[in-house]
A and B are shown apart, each in its own frame.
Chain A
Amino acid sequence: MNIVVCLKQVPDTETLIKIAPDGKSIVQDDIKWVMNPYDEFGVEEALKLKGKFGGEVTVVGLGPRRVTESIRTALAMGADKGILISDDALENSDSLATAKALAAAIKDLEYDLIFTGQRGVDDDMGVVGASLAEFLDIPQFSLIVKVEAAEDGKSIKAHRPVEGQVLIIESSLPALVTAQKGLNEPRYASLPGIMKAKKKPLEEKTLADLGLDPAEFGEGGRKVKILELTPPPERVEGKIVEGETPQDKAVELARLLHEEAKIF
């Protein structure tokens, strides 16, 4: 089973986000860039399936050169090869353009299954996976917590929790799965894994290599325009609930929730 995993590099979740002076982007100094946590689930699931069915796992990332590091991490976990789509003209591309470029790089690969994360923990869009599936004209399963592959490796059943129930959805392959928390526990890269990763193939592609027109990408190609970024609205200062004993505090809290917050 040949599997493609899309990998987005995002600021570490510890990062405090600061708005840049242009009011439209974030301050990038001091950011520690990591693999999107949901893509770690994708890599792990791909490796598990490879363990069962054989085949190759290819990691595809799009972004600046620094994305190579995260691709190497995936290779160190056990993926076989990497593709970095990197081009100055891609900077500030929106989800649709990103998916288009990923589709162009993936369409000529041999694949049975594609994993993306359910959302990037940066822009919180969760659009690239489904858009990629649309452009490749393959079915998608989104927000998946369990993948059961048929013995012949030709179809899968995916478990998709929706509010109040879990849907079990079936489709033949190729298909695309967006990974949700709960899918698995991603492995860590081992030391031998890290050594091996250095020798694994990592190919770099530009828009020209993919036969794409730069005008459709980057800031100019955006269909969603950023007007401004702002810090989150300040919450009004809260109060510390007074009382001698925990019991008194509970009484006071209940009163506040009733009288001031009108919760019940």
Chain B
Amino acid sequence: MAQGVWTIAEQRDGEIRKITYEVASEGRRLADALGQDLTVVLLGADIKDKATELGHYGADKVLVADDPRLGTYTTDAYVGIVSQLVKADDPAILLIGASTQGKDLSARLSASLGVGMAQDCTVLSVEDGNLVATRPIYAGKAYARVTFEDSWPQMATTRPNVMSITEPDTSRSAEVVDASFSLDDSSLKTKVVDAVKDESGKVDLTEADKIVSGGRGMKGPENYKILEDLADLIGATVGASRSAVDAGWRPHSDQVGQTGKVVSPNLYVACGISGAIQHLAGMSTSKVIVAINKDEEAPIFQKADFGVVADLFDVVPALTEEVKKYL
């Protein structure tokens, strides 16, 4: 009988990423609901010293796969090892963060284990001993509640920024165990030959706590400076509508929406964005939405917690000045 909740930690360059704590915290809540243990699986190179702190977030056990070939994520190595570990231990629930790494890992792992998987979930619970997952579909135009049939472990990934991180308890400690696995070089078919870092130091839209987005109302690429000034001040990342991207004002990676990034920040400020259905789909799970638009009929106002009907070129710089008073 499958037992226990597992979560997969995510590290980059030897540092644990925030999503790890989100998933572990949620894993702890599910483990408590089931009355079972939480195991966090940590893969990396020279990574064992990071295991202790995972106990503070609720892990009863940290299963460490330490190998020089695991320093940088590759699908082949990670899927191979996690599937070996899962088969050996038979956990009931397996959670992964829906980061770019987690989406890649989870998708292939579910096929490798032959189990069902619910991607990018926003709510998880346990009902009658089964994992029940809620996930937005049609980019948030509807929600699906799903569960699993004859499929163990029950697998889900959690949308970044959605699961709350529990206050770390430094008095808790986890049992740290070396995982036993085999990794054959011939199974490693892909090779990361380069990693080009984004030197801006900006948090990716999908993980950003705050986003300031500009649309066609920005009138040109040069005007994004006023959004960047506000964003820098409040620690936000700048996003864009598809119109702004298609106009060549902003890179593709900045697009928010059904065919861009789906985001769930604490604060989303839409400036000069009308609120087309495809845009709303990508940002309507944001916690607080602000719309600044001079057209009071703009659909974006229907989603906004705070709507400002005015010229953004007047409001945004004034807002930046005002916010300084509170910081």
Interface set of A (CB-CB < 8 Å, partner B): 11, 13-17, 19, 26, 37-38, 94-96, 99, 121-127, 129-135, 138-143, 145, 157, 160-172, 175, 181-182, 222-233, 235-236, 238-241, 245-247, 249-251, 253-258, 261, 263-264
Contacts and interface: CB of A to CB of B under 8 A. Distances in A.
Given A231-B142, A232-B142, A171 B190 contact: yes
Given A223-B115, A254-B323, A126 B108 contact: no
B117 A134 contact: no
A142 B323 contact: no
B111 A99 contact: yes
Interface size class of B (residues with CB under 8 A): 35 or more
B225 interface: no
Contact of B107 (A130, A163, A233, A238): A130
Contacts of A170: 190-193
B250 to A, nearest CB: 12
B93 to A, nearest CB: 14
Interface secondary structure of A, over-half rule: mixed
Contact of B259 (A19, A161, A181, A236): A181
B228 to A, nearest CB: 17
A11 B138 CA distance: 9
Interface string B261-296: 010001100000000011001001000111000001
B110 A127 contact: yes
Contacts of A229: 137, 142-145
23 contacts: A96-B110, A99-B111, A121-B138, A123-B137, A127-B107, A130-B111, A133-B108, A140-B108, A163-B99, A163-B100, A169-B74, A170-B190, A182-B252, A224-B149, A225-B148, A227-B132, A232-B140, A232-B143, A236-B305, A238-B306, A246-B314, A263-B234, A264-B234
Main secondary structure of the interface of B (DSSP, over half): mixed
Interface of B: 17, 74-76, 79, 99-101, 103-104, 106-108, 110-112, 114-120, 132, 135-151, 189-198, 202-204, 206-207, 210, 234, 251-253, 255, 258-260, 262, 266-267, 277-278, 281, 284, 288-290, 296, 301, 303-311, 314-315, 318-319, 321-323, 325-327
Contact of A13 (B136, B150, B258, B288): B258
Nearest to B309: A240
Contacts of B192: 167-170
B288 A263 contact: yes
**Most B CB atoms within 10 A — which of A37, A94, A246?**
A246
Nearest to A122: B138
A232 B284 contact: yes
**Among B79, B115, B194, B321: residue with most chain A CB under 10 A:** B194
Contacts of B318: 246-247, 250-251
B150 A134 contact: no
